[in-house]
Amino acid sequence: MGEAIVITSGKGGVGKTTTTANLGTALAILGKRVCLVDTDIGLRNLDVVLGLENRIIYDLVDVVEGRCTVQKALVKDKRFDHYLYLLPAAQTSDKSAVNPAQMKQLIEELKQEYDYVLIDCPAGIEQGYRNAVAGADEAIVVTTPEVSAVRDADRIIGLLEAEEHVKPPRLIINRIRSHMVKNGDMLDVDEIISHLSIELLGIIADDENVIKASNRGEPIVLDPNSKASIAFRNIARRILGESVPLPPLEEEEKGLFSKIRKIFSLK
């Protein structure tokens, strides 16, 4: 029996879909059978990021309303043999087309088949959020180093902590720009962690290759060299229970001057 993990954030556009696609792909590469579920009904785009949009025939609402079986609606990602599947969201309905009880049942069914069911949650805390969380055993909260995103993450963490069937949520900080953090123009990782007080699962740099890869329909984890790719693969290994140390953030700052600045703790 697999595990269902919801990827959520509160605030929109912080990287839930990107995270879902990349962690799913990374887990599949690591030999796990993975099913991705897009619950952003009406605004689906997980299929686009994975490059699978042309292959969709049925969707989540079709399954819930009994027009087809789950198996029939799942889109197989051919690049990964039979390891990675997507259950796409409906584009024509809205979030009220599905209710939490139906979602719970659906996720339960998928967990029988797959090692990991990753649920891409829509932004917000309304019905779409409740649907996405209903069947989850674990939760990953994605935030960016912005005050408003952290505030919404805090709100979501509070809601998740109240869900008895969900383990304590873990955090991914996305789109860190080390030079902005250094200049004090962005919240730094320690600040965010001390604020949210939850376990940190990983940090992903802001990397334009992420956007390029998404536009090509090829998750960034397929690029062996980009920093974001390494970060996503490390997170996947942490999900599997390996202890992978967090790499130091400021990789560029290796010069003598920066060391001296550190010693004297200058900002």
From the CB of 42, what's the least distance to ligand ATP, in Å? 11
Alpha-helix runs per DSSP H in 135-202: 147-161, 178-182, 189-196
Residues in 192-251 at the binding interface with other proteins, rule: CB under 8 A = 195-197
Token duo for residue 203: 């940090």
Pairing state between β 116-120 and 138-143 = unpaired
Query: How far is it, in rounded angstroms, from Cα 79 to Cα 68?
Result: 25
CA–CA–CA angle 201, 231, 255 (5° rounding) = 110
Stretch binding other proteins (CB under 8 A), from 15-23, 51-59, 128-136, 155-163:
155-163
**Could you say whether residue 155 binds other proteins (CB under 8 A)?**
yes
Nearest to 120 by CA among 152, 88, 147: 88
Does residue 22 bind ligand ATP (CB under 6 A)? no
Does 108 participate in binding other proteins (rule CB under 8 A)? no
Instruction: Answer with the entry of Mg ion, ligand ATP, other proteins, none that 112 interacts with (C-beta below 5 to 8 A by kind).
Output: none
Per CB under 6 A, 214 contacts ligand ATP: yes
Binding site for ATP, by residue number, is 11-18
3-state SS, 60-83, equals HHHHHCCCCCHHHHCEECHHHCCC
Q: Which positions lie near ligand ATP, rule CB under 6 A?
A: 9, 12-18, 40, 122-123, 174-175, 204, 206-207, 210-211, 214, 228
Q: Which positions lie near other proteins, rule CB under 8 A?
A: 151-152, 154-155, 157-159, 161, 195-197
